[in-house]
Amino acid sequence: MALFSKKDSKICSTEFAVLPNHLGIIMDGNGRWAKNRGLPRTAGHKAGANVFRTISDECARLGIKYVTFYAFSTENWKRPQEEVDALMSLFMDYLLEAKADMTKAGTSKIKFIGERRGISKELLDLMDEAEQETASHTGTTVYLAINYGGRQEIVSAVNSLIAQGKTSVTEEDISANVYTVPDCDLIIRPSGEERLSNFLLWQAAYSEFWYSDVLWPDFKKDDLYSALREFEKRNRRFGG
């Protein structure tokens, strides 16, 4: 990830009157992007990983505090083994590079959300190292959702509360036991699909949504800006 100067951050913080505190992004459309080019689906994921880097850098530059990228759902294990393996190896490659870049830059921190069971020890070790090495950074927190499902997250929070001896729970209890992600302000979903797909179910209670037909590998900084401009105009009432 790039290291951005204070000067750049200042310029960009004046670009938007309001920014989401927590932005969620569903990176969708890699497969179709590849198919349109006669390429294997894995080529779409690779192109998508590059866009992930560009957009997470841009979020950091803008000063968005939290951004969560949906990289692999609890349901994605059902995909062909070859595609699952390619995605896991992409996560490994990316993490090796990103860990070094982020550690050097000293700005963004990376955290992983999702179920650890099912992920290889090799990848888990790398995820742990990346979290530890960036834990003291004070810039944007980039959450990468791997083996993540919103329902699974809520069930796991409730089970933690039961293990803590609770016999009834409050909203605050659940909020404190989900994967420590704050409520989500804006969810971006490209690729023409308009659904949540088990993403941040608890945190999305009052999220704004922004959809676009662009496929994730074609998603540009301008698309992010369009979403943020639209978010600026939204009148959020939180049910009041």
Interface residues with ligand FPP (CB under 6 A) are 27-32, 45, 48-49, 52, 71, 76, 90-91, 94, 144, 191, 216
> Catalytic residue among 8, 21, 36, 76, which?
76
Beta carbon nearer to ligand FPP, 31 or 149: 31
Q: How far is the CB of 219 from ligand FPP (least distance, A)?
A: 10
Q: Which residue is nearest to ligand FPP, using beta carbons?
A: 31
Among the listed residues 8, 21, 28, 183, the single catalytic one is: 28
* Nearest-approach distance from CB 173 to ligand FPP, in angstroms: 31
DSSP annotation string for the chain: -----HHHHHHHHTT-S---SEEEEE---HHHHHHHTT--HHHHHHHHHHHHHHHHHHHHHHT-SEEEEEEEETTGGGS-HHHHHHHHHHHHHHHHHHHHHHHHH---EEEEES--TTS-HHHHHHHHHHHHHHTT--S-EEEEEEEE-HHHHHHHHHHHHHHTT-SS--HHHHHHHSSSPPPPSEEEE-TT----TTSSTTTTTT-EEEE-SS-GGG--HHHHHHHHHHHHH----TT-
Active site residue 183: no
Whichever of 20 and 31 has its CB closer to ligand FPP, that residue is: 31
173 is catalytic: no
For residues 42 and 177, which CB has a smaller minimum distance to ligand FPP in the complex? 42
Q: Residues with catalytic annotation?
A: 28, 76
